[in-house]
Structure 1
Amino acid sequence: MNPVIVFVVSFLLWASKGIYIGTLVERFKGRFNEITAYWLITSLFNVLLAVLVTLLCPDVYFVSWSFPVREFLIFFALSVLAVIPGLKELWRFIEPKTGEEQKAAEPFRNLGLIEASVLRIISSALPEELVFRYIFLGLLSLWDPFAGLIAVSMFFGLGHRFSHRERGLGLLISNVLSGIVFGLAYLYTGSLLVVMVIHWLGNMIPWAMMKYPGVRNVIAAATAFPLASLFVFRSEVRRILEYFAGIYTVSGLFWGLIIGLAMLGVIYAGIKILSAKNGE
């Protein structure tokens, strides 16, 4: 089946998932708390959607389940650099000052290491990488890799504004840049494991710095250490840049921006319709 058609169908199914999973979340709330129940059901929905997409368009399954360490270190280093525009805002999560910031951070501060690790897997690393990289980017890359990279990264980054209304411009830019890093890592390595681990670490490191202030400097140093890989493995970095230049096209950039804006527009319209329906 045409990958672009499958992309449109899968995006609409994903965008309307609240219609299908609401009842299941209510049923699971008795066994888990509401947040855990929601993310467990969401992860299950995304896995089933990935299976459906693979059946409709088998070519999307170009996944490698290897874990290339050198490429992992390079892309992790790039993901660290991607955080720089939003660092000031992120620091307010790590070290909240105002009462409002402390209240927002408190539920995460109270999590234990295992709880936080599992929550970050089922709420971001697994469901988001399955949807954004495997399904959306995978399908669009069969048509135009660069258009897919731009569209999905733009939607991934700016789409955080819908679920985190307090998020500022700097952090949204970081989200877009992170999306580009994750997407390029997936296209270059074909490894979902690599992007899942990088995404998971990107969520766990700020939490660990907030949770364990006494070793904050150690965590920061350990996070910065992989930056050396950009120099140590500079020949591999050069190949990655050559790959990026090889998939770049002006038409890909144009269509990537158009598709990304269209995806954001669909979600925005859906939110407005639901708000009007609920009288908000």
Structure 2
Amino acid sequence: MTDTNRTAHPRAADANPVPVSAPGAGSDSGGAGRPRRRYRLARHSLLLAGRSLTKTRRNPGVLSDALFMPILFLLLFVYLFGGAVSGSTHSYLQYVFPGVLVMTMLLAGMLATGLSINTDIKKGVFDRFRSLPIGRSAPLVGIVLGDVIRYVVAAAVLFATGYLMGFRVQTDAASALAAVGLATALGFAMGWINVLIGVLIREEVIVQTVAFLGIFPLAFGTDMVVPADTMPGWLRAWVEVNPVSDAVEAARGLLVGGPVAGPATATLLWSAGFLAVFCPLAVAAYRRRS
């Protein structure tokens, strides 16, 4: 009798196994883990953006370009070309300031992002990221998001310098913020070009050289410094198709008055296009290299 009971218990246990919940199952539909998976890339990217901000806080010297570049360009353009182009530095300051804002936003992100990524890859930091259960593109997105601090610092320095030199916003505060946001959106989108450069090229010096040579015709090939109708035909043709020209015109309209809707829409479309093309290319190149 006892032996029979002893052998019956295992069979009874086998007949009524204890159910084991599947990973991520928290409801009858078994979909409680889906939101967590859905937002995993965003969460990991924000965490790595925090890492980038921590590096900046511990080494403030990396913001030197965002601190000094706006001052240098504004002083150089206004006092070198102001009298010759507009007859007075004050009127020329009102003309050139919106273009310098756009150019500063482009340079603040593009010249630093690719170099930072290239350095992390060479030091093996991205190898560590690859061993972690995170999204493959999260390290790239995190670095780009972390560089937003450059845009904020550069814009603040530029407006402070412009105010001391005599620049005044002719519209309102909301329009000024919109101008900064529009220039930042284009700078963020075009920053992915430099991300791709930083992943593909292995030498830091070459990364900086290629990035600068790539951004130079875009940033300076506009009517930022002089009106386009004073340029030769071939250069005026480039200015008219240059996506940065739309951003300069939109920023000028938002800050000192002029057309806004058309150039602002074109700038947003260009930004979306750059992001849609170069972000996947950069991620694919990073996956191949890592």
Q: Same fold (TM over 0.5)?
A: no
Larger relative contact order (Cα-Cα within 8 Å, sequence gap ≥ 6): 1
Query: What TM-score bracket applies, with the shorter chain setting the length?
Result: 0.3 to 0.5
Instruction: Give the greater-gyration-radius structure (CA).
Output: 2
TM-score, scaled to structure 1: 0.34
